[in-house]
Structure formats: C-alpha cells, structure tokens
Structure 1
Amino acid sequence: MQPTISIPQHWGYPRFALEQRTNQGIILGLYYYPNGTELAEQFGDGWRYALMPNKNSDELFHFQESQIQPFSPQELFLQIRAEIELYQQQINILKQQLAVLTGGFTNA
C-alpha cells in the first residue's frame, strides 16, 4: 500500500514531487504557507520546497516554487544515464574484489 497525502482543495496542487531532481537539487520535502498567514506575509504564500544539492550533501536549502527549475527530459536522461554508468563501474570493481577474495569463484 502506497502512502497517501491529502492536500486541501483551496491550497492548489504542488508543481514538483518528492524525490524529483531539479537544477537546484533533489526535493526532499515540501510545505505550504497559506495566504493570509504570518509566514505567507513574511516569505510569500504557496508551496516551498526543501532540496538537497546532491545525494552526498549534508546541506538543505529551501526554495519557493517559482525559484525551482526542473531539468529538461534530455538533461534528466543524461544525468540518470551517467549515474547508472557510475554504479555499473562500482559493481564491476566490487565483482573483481570479490573474485580475488574467493579465488576466482563468483555467483554472478
């Protein structure tokens, strides 16, 4: 069963999703400042997002929805493809290390 998030109808729907990759980073959280509240008056109403610049970062940045730029489909494809290639290289290195440890025997 997948978790469900309910959003009040008068809030509007967020433009971005959790774990979405953007030019600013990966979206880890989102929150809403309703119109007419103190936070909305101070920071602007609407959706705000918490982003981590990259998966190895310990920093978290907050952006308004209008400040976030999604990757184009081509940019996203190239980024994911490069990440897959990196993981494949790491797997090959680990297989080689395992082969040395087991005297050439692997279950791969």
Structure 2
Amino acid sequence: MLPTISIPQHWDYPRFALEQRTKQGIILGLHYYPSGTELAEQFGDGWRYALMPNKNSDELFHFQENQIQPLTPEELFRQITAEIDFYQQQISILQQQLAVVIGGSTNG
C-alpha cells in the first residue's frame, strides 16, 4: 500500500511534488504556512519547499512556491539521461572490478 498524505480542504494544493527536479534543485520537503499565523505573517502564507541544489550538495535552501521554476521537458530529459550515463559508467567500473576479483579467485 502506498503512503497517503492528506491536505486539508481549506489549503491550496501544492504545485510541486517531493523529489521533483526544478531549476533550483530537487525538492526534498515542503511545508505550509496557513494565512493568519505568525509564520505566514513573517515569511508569507502558502507552500514553502526545501530544495537541495544537486545530489552531492550538503546545503538545503527554502523557497516559496512562486520562486521555483520547473524544468522544461528538454532540461529534464538531459538531466535524467546524464544521470543514467553516469550510473552506467559506475556499473561498468564495478563489473570490471568484479571480473578481476572472480578471475583472481579462480587462479589462486
């Protein structure tokens, strides 16, 4: 069973999803500041998102919904194919290392 998140009916629905890639980075979290609350008065009401600029970053940035720009389909395609290429190279390196280990253990 997939986990379910319930959003109160009087809240706006978030525009972006968890793990969505955007021009600012990957969305790792989101929270809502309801209007009329102290946090909303201080930071603005609505959805705020926690984003990591890239997967190797140790920084986390917070943006209001209107500050986030989605990737175009072409940008998303390029990002994902570049990541696939990277992991395919990593798999190839690991397969070579495994071949050495297997070859070395049969020769001993």
Q: Is this a same-fold pair by TM over 0.5? A: yes
One-letter identity of the residue aligned with 1:56: N
Partner of 2:15: 15
> How many residue pairs get matched?
105
For normalisation by structure 1, the TM-score amounts to 0.93
Partner of 1:92: 92
Q: Structure 2: state its 5+ residue gaps.
A: none
Q: Tell me by how many angstroms 1:104 deviates.
A: 7.8
One-letter identity of the residue aligned with 2:76: L
CA deviations on 1:52-71 (whole Å, 9 max, x unpaired) are 11111111110000000110
Describe the SS at the equivalent of 2:87.
Answer: helix
Partner of 2:83: 83
Q: How does 1:1-108 map to 2 (within 5 A)?
A: 1-103=1-103
Q: Structure 1: state its 5+ residue gaps.
A: none
Structure 2 distance, partners of 1:86, 1:58, is: 20
For normalisation by structure 2, the TM-score amounts to 0.93
List structure 1 segments (4+ residues) > 6 angstroms apart after TM superposition: none
Structure 1 distance, partners of 2:104, 2:82, is: 29
**How many percent identity over aligned positions?**
83
